[in-house]
Structure 1
Amino acid sequence: MTTDSALPEVSRRPIGVFDSGVGGLSVLRALRRELPGEHFVYYADSAHCPYGGLDDEQIRTLTFRAVRTLAVHPTKAAIIACNTASAFSLDALRAWAGNAYPIVGLVPALKPAVQRTRSGVVGVLATPGTLRGTLLADVIERVARPAGVRVMTAVSEKLVPLVEAGQWNAPETRAELCRVLAPIAREGADQLVLGCTHYPFLREAIMAEFASHFSLLDSAEAVARQTRRVLAEQHALRENHECGEVRAFTSGDPALVGPVASRLFGEALSVEPASALPGAA
């Protein structure tokens, strides 16, 4: 097995993963499966979560601050594991970073949903911020409309805080899911795109209520594959190495975020305060 000292310096750096909270851990899990030899730095801006209720400029400001922090760490790429942050900031971040620092964002998994639907109706469960952004509208226009597929959107301000609180299968969570998803089910949608990285953690609750209606799709695996491609193009992969390490940081209270993060991630995570993140202002 190759030692780290034999790798170029950029290959030895971790990959930065950013989300407004713990939802991006669904993307981090996919990244770990796709790139087991890589080191990761996960940053949850839990103090400002959820982003979906913030105004456009606040979302852009917080996202830029987080990505700059990860870049200074230094990391070799930043994964924007937040649909709302991607919707408002992705193009501007890539223009800021240039070619030297790859940035991979999230695009709702509408394309596979359109390809798989038999009813011709697809649902998207999203946050208010993601629906306000142009990214989802652009994908609908480019992918769904030419195929003659109807896209119905459902939005909730309650689901992300419930996941952040560890209540992903609580009665209140199921009641909210029934409220927002029942209209889509009645219209015959057979595919449901999870348009927020918190929502894959609601799979069990959604399936308990709507298993006969929906197949669920999210973007995590596609993001992981794209990250591999981007790093391979830059000759920056850390392959053929033992399992990489994960360090997690939060702008919120680590004592509150840590237990929820560990349960969602499926292994113990020692969550540190954001002030301990090298590069933090």
Structure 2
Amino acid sequence: MHQHQSIGVFDSGVGGLSVAWAIRQLLPAESLYYFADTGYAPYGEKTDSDTYQRMQAITRHLLACGVKAIVVACNTATTAAIKELRAQYSLPIIGVEPGVKPAVLASTTGVVGVLATPRTLLTPAFASLSQRYAGKARVLLQPCPQLVPMIEALELDSAVMRELVAGYTQPLLAQGADTLVLGCTHYNFIADVIADVAGPGINIVRTEMAVAKQLQHRLAQMQLLNSGAVGKADCFYSSGDAGLFHRQLRRLWPAAATALPL
């Protein structure tokens, strides 16, 4: 591994683009290799073993492309098998997890709501995370099975999306939650909608910049930060529909980007 190699970022779809953009903002000299595994999505319908097999396959692909670090920009994949992935590979592997700790610190009512995919909320890793702060706040869990498909379809601010968000958030708010955790990277793309529907005075906790900072820390530790002025062009690939991915990039990536064929 050397400083000028790219950083690999992958997710089951486009949610990880929000994490990749935070990395782009924090580390402008780095180049990114983004892989959307939409051909095998959703991960939430697979066993942990199946998810780990996909994570291994993507990691091998990213290593063949010469990356120096990997960001697992998917909460479901992180909670399912990132420990196993780290045990198998020696390069830095950064995961994401719901920001329960900052949410607990931000809450004044002592009630925190976590919005996430059903699979993420069922994993032992998330149960351990939630239990860690159970004595400091009441942590309410809200599975949101319909949000990711809507976001993948770019229905970000439709009437249907707002109705779904209201249905998922109102039970939490009714129980006194003043802080909502976005427990899926896809949800970053509807953070403004969630904030608007939830109303004033509700904290929205998202973690993409924290992930970028952790990546920066690990790269600095291993002397892998790119010391150049600017990195090479970012690359974007999908295991699914290339035409859809191109449309998603045009909508969700703030800079010019092209979906490349595998």
TM range (shorter): over 0.9
Partner of 2:115: 125
Indicate conservation of the 8 Å contact 1:125/1:153, yes or no.
yes
Q: Shift in Å at residue 208 of structure 1? A: 2.2
* Cα distance in structure 2, aligned partners of 1:56 and 1:33: 32
Identity %: 36
Indicate conservation of the 8 Å contact 1:17/1:80, yes or no.
yes
The TM-score, its normalising length taken from structure 1, stands at: 0.90
* Cα distance in structure 2, aligned partners of 1:24 and 1:185: 27
* Cα distance in structure 2, aligned partners of 1:239 and 1:173: 43
Report which stretch shifted further, 58-67 or 81-90.
58-67
The TM-score, its normalising length taken from structure 2, stands at: 0.96
Report which stretch shifted further, 155-164 or 206-215.
206-215
| Matches for 1:77-116 after TM superposition, within 5 Å | 77-98=69-90, 101-116=91-106
Indicate conservation of the 8 Å contact 1:190/1:214, yes or no.
yes
Deviations 1:3-26 (A, max 9, x none): xxxxxx611100000000000011
Q: Structure 2: where are the runs of 5+ without partners?
A: none
Amino acid at match of 2:100: L
Q: Shift in Å at residue 243 of structure 1? A: 4.9
* Cα distance in structure 2, aligned partners of 1:64 and 1:25: 20
Indicate conservation of the 8 Å contact 1:169/1:204, yes or no.
no
Determine if the alignment matches structure 1 residue 198 to structure 2 residue 186: yes
Report which stretch shifted further, 213-222 or 156-165.
213-222
Q: Shift in Å at residue 74 of structure 1? A: 1.1
Indicate conservation of the 8 Å contact 2:155/2:161, yes or no.
yes
* Cα distance in structure 1, aligned partners of 2:232 and 2:209: 18
Q: Shift in Å at residue 225 of structure 1? A: 0.5
| Matches for 1:1-281 after TM superposition, within 5 Å | 10-98=2-90, 101-142=91-132, 144-147=133-136, 149-212=137-200, 214-273=202-261, 276=262
Deviations 1:136-192 (A, max 9, x none): 2111122x1232x00001112211011111101111111111111110010110111
Aligned residues: 262
Amino acid at match of 1:223: V
Report which stretch shifted further, 262-271 or 80-89.
262-271
Q: Shift in Å at residue 244 of structure 1? A: 4.3
* Cα distance in structure 1, aligned partners of 2:166 and 2:227: 44
Q: Structure 1: where are the runs of 5+ without partners?
A: 1-8, 277-281
Amino acid at match of 1:134: P
Moved >6 Å (runs of 4+): none
Question: Tell me, what secondary structure is at the counterpart of 1:10?
Answer: coil
Indicate conservation of the 8 Å contact 2:113/2:172, yes or no.
yes
* Cα distance in structure 1, aligned partners of 2:192 and 2:134: 30
